[in-house]
Every structure is written in C-alpha cells, then in structure tokens.
Structure 1
C-alpha cells in the first residue's frame, strides 16, 4: 500500500476489528457495514473473487442454487451475479450487512440468520443447494469447525462447499480434524485446496492484525 492517506484511512476504519469477540460482533459489523466493501478492497482480500471463480469451475450451470453463508455486504454475490448466476440466497447475522447486500440487487433472497446452531437450522435450507459459498466465517471470534455440519446439511448430494480461511487456522483451530472426520464418515470428499495470498495490498509490517499471509480456498463435494 503506497498512499499514506489510504493507510491512515484503513487503520482508522478497521479499529473496531481489533478484538473480534462473538459477543461484540453485531456491534462491530453494524458500525463498519457501510465501509466494509472499501475495507476489503483496500486490504486486498481476494477470498470473494476466488470463491466465485471456484463456483464457476465446479458448477458452470448459471441456474444452480447457491447459498452464500455469512454473505456480509454481498461481495461474493456481486461476483457471482457478474458472471451470470441468478439463484443466489444469502444469509448473515448482521442486519446492517444484509441491507448493504440488498443494495447490490444480486440475491434472489436475503435473510438475517445466526449460523452455528445446527439443532435450529431452518428446514427450508436443508438439502437445497448445488453450491455453498462462505468467506470470512472461519475466522477469529466467528464460527468454528462445527459449521461444516451446517454446510453439509444445506447441500444436495453431489453439491459443493466452497469456503476460504487463513491457512494458520486449519490446524490450530481444529478445522483439519473436522475435515478428516467428515471425510472418513463419507459425508464429503476434498476436491481441492487452493492457496492464495490474503491482504496482498499491505506491506509486510501490516496494519493491526492484518498482514500478507497464505489463505486457502477449500472445495469439498458432498457424497
């Protein structure tokens, strides 16, 4: 990042994200919803674009049913809509983020929904989707490996779960163990784990907790 003014703006914009605790997430995202797209672009977070491109590679049928879990302000939906997808449903726990997503006019349905409680997962979303996309859920203070069960529950047989995360979280936060458990139980199979650089616009020194680092885009197929 070359422009001092941009760096200063970003540092100020992401101040609310310094401590991502579950109890404070709704306040944090409500506060930053209007700036979220600019923050993501300035950081150089490629997750949403890679998820959309991976969707097209796995399911080129543009009428496929897509579930954007933790859709935020709708950046994934925007990329998917741009390449022709027409049946995209988005859910997010933050109403302010949903309202920003609604402005993009890319989703056929949007709903405020708290994920991570499989016992109360809506029946209407079970076994419904050809593809699930998810960017930003598997991170500090958000959802843990248990969310993989909701992904599988939402997919049709043969459907794809496509999601991104920091590589550093795979082992340390128990995700690899969950991936292996579901694979051994024949719930899904790994198609690909693609590496990419997260926050590539930043210098090595980074800003707050953000610095260039390896990300992974996982693609699993439901069996």
Structure 2
C-alpha cells in the first residue's frame, strides 16, 4: 500500500543523521514520492500557494521554492499566474522530476543551512514547506533565505511542531527581528500537514516581511 510505503519513507528521512544520508533517502524515495505522499493527503506544497498569493502579486518576482523536492508547488503557482520560479533542493533525483514539470525557470542543488548560490536581495519571495522539520534544515538556514530576499519581499515557510522549540526557531525569529532584518506579518494556527495520515504531525506557517 502507498500509505504504508509513505510512512516507511518518512521514517527514513526523519531518522537520517547526516546530509548525505538525507540525500540518499530522498534519492531512493524520489520515483514514488508524489504518489506516496498523496496517499497521506500531503497538502503543504499546494497550500503554501495560498499564502504566496495573499502577499505577493502575480506580476512580481522572482520566486524561490526552497527545498522544492519534486516540484509540486511550481505548477500550482504557474496556474495562478506566477512566472520566474526558481527551485533548490539537496537531491539530484528530486530536481530531475521538478524539472520535468516545466514550471521552474531555474533549479539548483543546494542545502538550507549552508550558503545559497544567489546574490543578496535576489528574490521577491522565498517560500518553503516540509523543510524545517525533523532531521532536516536547521533554523539557522533562515539567515540565508533572508539574505537572498529583497527589502519589502517576503519569507513564507512552514515549521513542524516537534522542532519549533527544540530547533531554536523562536530564537532565530527574535534575532532577525532585533537586527531589523524582518518583521512578522502573519502566522497560522498549528494544523495537520497530512489530511489523511499521521494526524499528530502538525505545522505552522509563518509569513515575514524582509526589511
């Protein structure tokens, strides 16, 4: 069953202890990722477009899908009138699938938490789902996302409940706010990231304006 396979795959990515192990887990999952996460009712790649559309006019860009995976968000944004969408991911296999969707203007291999291959203030908005979660990108990765977002732009992303406190996200939020690098515009309540499976997996979406 896709449901059982998806849960097993989630376990493998959540328990990866190194970036290399995480990349390997996603390489092995890439071919069946879409169907298996769909079986769990994974809504984040589609739901994030609601926050992007709420805060970013379709005439403005470019956009960055940070941790784009197989590129599920790209076609939805393209359908809403957004162009010039870039993507980054740590997995070559995931990026290959994302590229096949014909929704991204550029795709680059990079990992959140390390340096990103774009200049300061390059993007109108950076958005990310399912990346600030168990065993994945650290809260410190937000610094680079802010750096590559232009003043007046937005950083829109989800954080998993289990890492919000333990991962020090509030401390990074406060640090960037004190440095006058961003301000909080909106935050959602905690909600399920899988509409069908794993009812205890909760996330919150944050929207910051970069200053």
Same fold (TM over 0.5): yes
Pick aligned residue for 2:101 from 104, 107, 112: 104
Contact 1:199/1:212 (8 A) holds in 2: no
2:61 maps to 1:64: yes
Correspondence for 1:156? 150
What SS is found at the alignment partner of 2:132? coil
Residues in 2 aligned to 1:139 and 1:18: alpha-carbon distance in whole angstroms: 8
1:82 aligns with 2:79: yes
User: Which deviations, in whole Å up to 9, do the C-alpha atoms of 1:163-184 show, x marking residues without a partner?
Assistant: 0121232212100111011112
Helix, strand or coil at the partner of 1:99:
helix
Q: Is the partner of 2:49 in helix, strand or coil?
A: helix
Partners of 1:77 and 1:106 within 8 A in 2? yes
- Give the direction of change, closer, same or farther, for the CA distance of 1:107–1:174 in structure 2 (3 Å limit): same
Q: For residue 137 of structure 1, what is the aligned residue in structure 2?
A: 131
Q: Which runs of 5+ in 1 are unaligned?
A: none
CA contact (8 A) 2:134 2:160 kept: no
Counterpart CA distance in 2 for 1:186 and 1:158 is 12
Q: Report if aligned partners of 2:3, 2:40 keep a CA contact under 8 Å in 1.
A: no
Q: 1:11: Cα distance to partner?
A: 4.1
Tell me by how many angstroms 1:15 deviates. Answer: 5.6
Q: Output the CA distance in 2 between the equivalents of 1:56 and 1:62.
A: 11
Q: Which of 199, 212, 221 in structure 1 is aligned with 2:200?
A: 212
Give me the whole-angstrom Cα distance separating, in 2, the residues matched to 1:18 and 1:50: 22
The Cα RMSD (Å) is 1.8
Change (3 A) 1:18 1:216: closer
Select the structure of larger CA radius of gyration: 1
Note the C-alpha offset of 1:89: 0.5
- Cα distance in 2 for residues equivalent to 1:155 and 1:135: 17
Q: Separation in 1 of the partners of 2:92 and 2:194?
A: 26
2:186 aligns with: 192
Residue 12 of structure 1: CA displacement? 5.0
CA contact (8 A) 1:63 1:87 kept: no
Deviation at 1:14, TM superposition (A): 4.3
Shift in CA distance, 79/141, structure 1 to aligned 2, threshold 3 Å: same
Aligned residues: 209
User: Are the aligned partners of 1:198 and 1:212 in contact in 2 as well (CA < 8 Å)?
Assistant: no
TM-score (norm 1): 0.86
